[in-house]
Structure 1
Amino acid sequence: MKIYPSEDIAALKPYTYYASAGYCKPEDTLTWKCGENCEANAQFQPFASGGDGNATQYWYVGYDPALKTVIVAHQGTDMSKSGAVATIMDIAQVHPSKSLFPGVSANVLVHKGFAESHSRSAPAVLAAVEKTLKEPGTTKHVTLVGHSLGAALSLLDGIYLPLHVPGITFSVIGYGMPRVGNKAFADYVDAHVKSLVRINNGEDPVPIMPGMYYASSGYRHPSGEIHISNKDRKWYKCAGQENPSAECSDGSGASIFSGTSLSIYIYILLYEIAYAGVA
């Protein structure tokens, strides 16, 4: 099992803050005044934001001149919002919208709640990305970030946006990402999303949900898992889809009774890495 390089771990810090800022209200991300999460990336230039935090998760789009990438972030689940809870509970599978995902195989099926939530913000996010890419000085690179439900929405964006914005390099960085679709979906992601990192901490249950055998065609993660082991706190690079190793989420002993908030990921990046001498 390969260890994830320390320099790559350290490079995730700004994206972790961007994912955390996804939980902030649109008016705060649009002015980039959301406390520590915004201050950590003070150079960020916001261009658009939206969502209501309930039926439609908060989102924002802008540009980081230091990282030389457009940032698109989606909010994770706020369990106090009935609409957000309904989204994650709607685990039936559907075909992706033909208008949003033209040309995607009919064999591809995705989580209904995630798909419907994504569809409510997709046109606005696309317009914001296109506008941001036209700004002077921006590079042709877009990074999509999110935690939990926000990570699922970012993965869907990682498929959706390239179908409408050609000639751009896209990267997806998700924290505690749930399963989003069936094996055909996972295979499509592996074939088309060239840069995907799924960071899972210890026995966080979200990455093992929905269960692999829920729904008629089941659920399956694409490749790209980086697992932070509870046993030795090392970051393991888990090869392939649904790696069963004890150093990966599937074999870690995770259950629905354990949990990891995004603040834990920030703690790991700020303190555990610094203690190890890589920050």
Structure 2
Amino acid sequence: MFASVLLLATLAIAAPLAPVVEERAYSQVSTAELAGFAPYTQFARAAYCGLDGLKNWNCGQACSALSDFTPTLVGGDGAKIQQYVVGYWASKNAVVVAHQGTDPTQLESLLTDVQVLQRQLSTTLFPGISSSVYVHSGFADQHALTASVILAEVKKLFTARKTSNLVLVGHSLGGALAEIDSVFFALQLPQATITTRTFGLPRVGNAAWAEVVDAKVPDFVRVNNRKDLIPIIPGRGLGFAHPEGEVHIVGTGDAVACEGNDNASDGKCTISSVPNIFGGNIIDHLGPYEGIYIGTIFCT
């Protein structure tokens, strides 16, 4: 997660305050749908655990909750390169790619977060991507470090397991990498059926980028927890925008699905609930996501 209020204030520069408005029609998320996020939350949680635990799939409660998952590739160091795990999830007949979020004790990981200048994406990794698309340079650079090796493993598993189902998961910076992965795999493996679930996701790119995510990845959900302030940064005033798919946890057993990109109209959605970083609570970034907390300290 991002480590300091000073850093958060920097990232939130020029973010316009959402007006106080009357609530309009949002969709209540059913109890069953909310409970259905739990396996994805556990994958996001597991990605923070040590490499040995990931290799052996012995990372405490998260791995125990996903006993039918078999890891085939793990990597990263949690600092210069975020940890990641790739493998096969039998009950969903799906390949899973999960990325670790920011470890606040690792300086190099924090430096990735603060590289907020936007840049264009590599046309080698993102063939056919429009020149109007810009993304957070730190996130793009981090993604590029592992894109090719993860792509090769996913291709291998698709062939070995005779599936084209792909699940992409992450929390915080890991969620940003999962969002970039969503478009990356949609372009590189057009036969893939992609499911993306992110938790505590910061904004990743400009409005053109958000439109690409919306067009290429229809099964994209970003879960925001209560007063978590990470989803409102970097600020909209810096040219950043979220794609569609927001689910905002209001309280235990209570969540709403918010229409559109960066919904600032519905009173229960994130922008109205956290109009600026001073109205947020960084502890909510860790959870609970329906009873599940995410972060290095929860790898037990």
Provide TM-score, normalisation by structure 1: 0.91
User: Which moves more between the two structures, 185-194 or 110-119?
Assistant: 185-194
Quote the Cα distance in structure 1 between the aligned partners of 2:51 and 2:277: 31
Deviation for aligned residue 1:130 = 0.9
In the other structure, the counterpart of 1:242 is 262
Q: State the Cα deviation string for residues 132-186 of structure 1 (Å, max 9, x = none).
A: 11223x4210010000000000000000012112311011100010000000001
Does 1:66 find its partner at 2:91?
A: yes
- Alignment partner of 2:179 out of 155, 170, 176: 155
- Alignment partner of 2:272 out of 251, 255, 261: 251
User: Which moves more between the two structures, 247-256 or 201-210?
Assistant: 247-256
Does 1:265 find its partner at 2:289?
A: yes
- Structure 1, unmatched stretches of 5+, are 270-279
Quote the Cα distance in structure 1 between the aligned partners of 2:274 and 2:231: 12
| Residues 143 and 262 of structure 1: CA distance in aligned 2, closer, same or farther (over 3 Å) | farther
Asked whether the 8 Å contact 1:144–1:173 carries over to 2, the reply is yes
In the other structure, the counterpart of 1:272 is none
In the other structure, the counterpart of 2:64 is 39
Quote the Cα distance in structure 2 between the aligned partners of 1:268 and 1:22: 14
In the other structure, the counterpart of 1:27 is 52
| Residues 235 and 68 of structure 1: CA distance in aligned 2, closer, same or farther (over 3 Å) | same
Deviation for aligned residue 1:255 = 4.1
Paired residues, number: 264
> What does residue range 137-216 of structure 1 map to in structure 2 within 5 Å?
138-214=162-238
Quote the Cα distance in structure 1 between the aligned partners of 2:231 and 2:155: 31
Does 1:124 find its partner at 2:149?
A: yes
Asked whether the 8 Å contact 1:175–1:262 carries over to 2, the reply is no
Please state whether the residue corresponding to 1:265 is helix, strand or coil. coil
Quote the Cα distance in structure 2 between the aligned partners of 1:266 and 1:132: 31
Q: State the Cα deviation string for residues 14-64 of structure 1 (Å, max 9, x = none).
A: 111011001012232121111111111111111101111011100010111
| Residues 42 and 120 of structure 1: CA distance in aligned 2, closer, same or farther (over 3 Å) | same
Quote the Cα distance in structure 2 between the aligned partners of 1:212 and 1:69: 35
In the other structure, the counterpart of 1:276 is none
Quote the Cα distance in structure 1 between the aligned partners of 2:290 and 2:267: 24
* Structure ranking higher on relative contact order (CA contacts 8 Å, 6+ apart): 2
Quote the Cα distance in structure 2 between the aligned partners of 1:171 and 1:71: 9
Provide TM-score, normalisation by structure 2: 0.84
AA matched with 1:237: A
Q: State the Cα deviation string for residues 213-261 of structure 1 (Å, max 9, x = none).
A: 12xxx0000100000125x862111000111122111110254351124
Does 1:87 find its partner at 2:108?
A: no
- Alignment partner of 1:220 out of 241, 245, 257: 241
Q: State the Cα deviation string for residues 59-83 of structure 1 (Å, max 9, x = none).
A: 0101111122111100001011011
Quote the Cα distance in structure 1 between the aligned partners of 2:275 and 2:290: 20
Quote the Cα distance in structure 1 between the aligned partners of 2:139 and 2:184: 13
Please state whether the residue corresponding to 2:102 is helix, strand or coil. coil
| Residues 192 and 74 of structure 1: CA distance in aligned 2, closer, same or farther (over 3 Å) | same
Deviation for aligned residue 1:191 = 0.9
Please state whether the residue corresponding to 1:72 is helix, strand or coil. strand
AA matched with 2:233: M
Taking only aligned residues, the RMSD between alpha carbons, in angstroms, comes to 1.6
AA matched with 2:235: G
Question: What percent of counterpart residues are identical?
Answer: 39
Deviation for aligned residue 1:112 = 0.4
| Residues 119 and 29 of structure 1: CA distance in aligned 2, closer, same or farther (over 3 Å) | same
